Structure 1
């Protein structure tokens, strides 16, 4: 069960995360990156004084992912959702590219689209899949690990900032 992020009141989302039981904090972290070792490592080093410190710890933990941890995290990922008005032919092209990628590398294609306009997402995903299909498997694992790290940072930031207009921001 993810940590319920409190956006108003006396405690910040980070304070709530820091004070949550270790198993609850780790479960919340698994929604950001599905690696049990990564989640437990971050949860065990609490409390964090601020969001940048937590993000630095998350980065460090993601750089230390062993191959089996990376496999665990990649198994839980899916393609980013496409805008609702995307043409059927684009879905077909993306499905075909993803199938080729998965056949070559044995895991889902992962990409962080944070900061990218929705209108550019499809072209960016297709271009990246095509480009990354030329990587050798070891090179691609490094690229995929970096994309997972970026996804985890964005998800962790979103989880701790909350959706309300009185959320703590750093």
Structure 2
């Protein structure tokens, strides 16, 4: 068994729940995953996380989306027009759907994140409310899965004292490690 999943499994319930809430701000999701420990492997934990995400009630999903903060790709060195376009698309999305835009960018290189984010925003603004609810829920699930993967991997290299808190990004303090390919925008 991987050391990270061992640390996760042995942590007190309150600690595990706090770690999980840093991955997805749905209390029901976090408590469900913490309550079903121990997990034999990280893959089993991730499968349980996916299942719990698919089972989120609308209010739980809304709470998790409300906790996401609008941040995105590094905008240093990009033209002002691109920054303005991103801000405008984000504002239009939030106005239309009532929550921040969440997108998983793991399939793209960091230098493609801005273009993919803008393309995603533009494409998803054309969705009706129900279609976007489904897409946003799946993106939130993917973001939570990535954060959980990083959490368990990070726990594998730490002692019990260092493992008490999940790693945070200096650039986006609410998003997990800075090397994350997942960004809510």
Shorter-chain TM-score: which interval?
0.7 to 0.9
CA distance in 1, matches of 2:79, 2:57: 39
- Say which SS state the counterpart of residue 81 (structure 1) adopts: coil
Could you tell me which of 7, 16, 19 is aligned with 2:10? Answer: 19
Runs of 5+ consecutive residues of structure 1 not aligned to the other structure: 1-10
Deviation at 1:90, TM superposition (A): 1.5
Q: Which residue of 2 aligns with 1:5?
A: none
Matches within 5 A, 1:109-120: 109-120=101-112
1:19-98 correspondence to structure 2 within 5 Å? 19-83=10-74, 84-98=76-90
1:44-68 CA distance string (max 9 Å, x none): 0000000100000000000001100
1:78 and 1:110 in contact (8 A); partners too: no
**Cα separation, 2, equivalents of 1:108 and 1:47:** 33
- Distance, in Å, in 2 between the alignment partners of 1:64 and 1:26 is 18
Number of residues of Structure 1 aligned to a counterpart in Structure 2: 156
Q: Is the 2:29–2:53 contact (alpha carbons within 8 Å) kept by the matching residues of 1?
A: yes
TM-score in terms of structure 2 length: 0.80
Q: Over the residues paired in the alignment, what is the CA RMSD in angstroms?
A: 1.7
| Stretches (4+) displaced over 6 A | none
Look up the SS of the partner of 2:102 in the other structure. coil
SS in 2 for 1:122: helix
Q: What are the Cα deviations for residues 106-127 of structure 1, in whole angstroms up to 9, with x where unaligned?
A: 0000001123101110110101
Q: Is the 8 A contact 2:20 2:148 kept in 1?
A: yes
- Structure 1 position 86, deviation (Å): 2.5
The 8 Å contact of residues 89 and 122 in structure 2, kept in 1 or not, is answered as yes
Aligned to 1:107: 99
Gaps of 5+ in 2: 159-185
Per-residue Cα deviation, 1:85-134 (whole angstroms, up to 9, x for no partner): 22322211111000000000000000011231011101101011111011
Superposition TM-score, scaled by structure 1 size: 0.86
